[in-house]
Chains A and B, each alone.
Chain A
Amino acid sequence: MNLARSLLRPTTIPIPAGRSIIAAVRGLRTQDVPPAQTDSDPTPSEAKFRTIERMPFQTYQYALEIIRKDRLKKFKEIELERQRIAGHLASGFKPDDREIKSMKKHLEYLRVQADINNPRVKYNFDRGLVSLHKPVYRYLMNRKWREYRRPILMQRLEQMNVIPDVLPKLDPVVDVQLRFQGRDIQPGDLVGSLQSEHPPTFKVVKFTEGPMLCTAAVVDSDVPRLCDDRFGFRLHWMVANIPLSHLQQQAIGTGAKPSDVVWEWIPPHVQKGSPYHRYTLILFKQPARFDVEDLKNKLAPNKMDSYNFMARSFMQKHALEPIGAFMFRGEWDEHTKKVMQRNKLKGWDQQLVRVKEE
């Protein structure tokens, strides 16, 4: 393969998430591409096309030379590392061993470093055209997420006290994006009763390579327990065996792979007089495929109104690891009564009133 010429041109057209290839190419074009040339026609002179790699600035071209040479060096290192990993695996190491894991991490690092100085990659990413197959775009997406949207999520989770209440601690590794009725939700947003009557759809952006099975659970942490004069937890939704990967981003919704609903969606309902309720969606990573009937039996006591769903103990019992979360809020509005009646939820005719203690 003539690396020197094809170096800065990715050999595959970047396929942006959710857009067609044709739209992507149209976005990059600077002039009309002539119709496909037959063998008899002479090939058009490439000098007519202005591209990133052909910009006529001397220092810039020198810089491109240096980057090309470094890229070739990285390819050699990648090849060496691949051979080393293969050798290790052949001579008795298991794929789960920490030596193999750290070697694979280093390999991923080298693959990113080979492309990260490429101006075309930067241009593509800044325009939003990413190819989820390439590690460099995943790396850039991860970095961008960690700069702004992840700190925002952690701020909301911690300020709303979701982190000590629902989960002891959380280190989000994947980006969870929720949508109700097709509308994007920011973490901490108040969602209307009508909007949240039906289960949301959500995307999970995984920045590392490989498939995984996930469980999503939505927990209401502010259910008023009048008997005890305190608040309890209620499970609103649980979906298990969601197949996700760096290419499969849609967890629930259009384009998602089939998964199993363990606990049907209970619409968020906040009685009049109650302060806002916090609803947390926790995304767990499953160690293996779950038996749905077994899970349903274990969760059956939740049907009792007074039962508390403790995410902590659920996590521990089933060896789940929280990799992502999202949080939204609900409060009483004019549609809550209808929603509760439609879904046969108890308490639609109750109003909570603050009783002054003497």
Chain B
Amino acid sequence: MARKAKAAPQGDARVRMVRYFLFHPAAHTPRPLKFGTMRMLRHWTIHRAWLLFKRAERIERERELETQYNKIRDACEELAKTDTRLFRNAISKKDVGTFPIEMRIPTDTPPKKGWNYGWRRH
């Protein structure tokens, strides 16, 4: 939508000043906090504990992924020993494009709308 030419020099200076002091980030960034010794110590402790918590979470998640990967690899090895044709079919990338949009990965919690029994592909 083509805008009309801007109004003559950005409107009234007083309005501009009022808007600046009401809304502009330069006037409204909170000043850097200064903590006393004990306050800073508590902040530091909480920060360290949070980092420990996140680290434990990350290690747990990575461990789970590692186990899953190893299981996939072992399963493929078993399949290879059992049946060569099925193995080759399983690992083949032929005619495999991207993932279908309807594909769902396992989630921790069920969907909000429940199971859609009326879903059809077309």
> Taking beta carbons and an 8 Å cutoff, which residues of A are in contact with B?
52, 55, 57, 59-60, 62-64, 66-67, 70, 117, 119, 122-123
B42 touches A57 (CB 8 A): yes
Given contacts A55-B38, A66-B53, 20 further A-B contacts (CB under 8 A): A52-B38, A59-B46, A60-B42, A60-B45, A62-B49, A63-B45, A63-B49, A64-B49, A66-B49, A67-B45, A67-B48, A67-B49, A70-B52, A70-B56, A117-B45, A117-B48, A117-B49, A119-B44, A119-B45, A123-B37
Chain B min CB distance to A133 (Å):
23
Give Cα A57–Cα B41 distance, bound, in whole angstroms: 12
CB closest residue in chain B, given A65: B49
B50 within 8 A of A: yes
List, in ascending order, chain A residues with CB within 8 A of B37's CB: 123
When A and B form their complex, which 4 residue pairs have the shortest distance between CB atoms, in order from nearest? Answer: A63-B49, A66-B49, A117-B48, A63-B46
Ordered by A's residue number, 20 sampled pairs between the chains whose C-beta atoms are within 8 Å are A52-B41, A55-B38, A59-B46, A62-B49, A63-B45, A63-B46, A63-B48, A63-B50, A66-B49, A66-B52, A66-B53, A67-B48, A67-B52, A70-B52, A70-B56, A117-B45, A117-B52, A119-B42, A122-B41, A123-B41
Interface code B47-89, partner A: CB below 8 Å = 1, 0 otherwise? Answer: 0111011001000000000000000000000000000000000
Chain B min CB distance to A25 (Å):
19
Count B interface residues, CB 8 Å. Answer: 13
List, in ascending order, chain A residues with CB within 8 A of B44's CB: 119, 122
List, in ascending order, chain B residues with CB within 8 A of A122's CB: 41, 44
List, in ascending order, chain B residues with CB within 8 A of A60's CB: 42, 45-46
Give Cα A64–Cα B56 distance, bound, in whole angstroms: 16
List, in ascending order, chain B residues with CB within 8 A of A57's CB: 42
List, in ascending order, chain A residues with CB within 8 A of B48's CB: 63, 67, 117
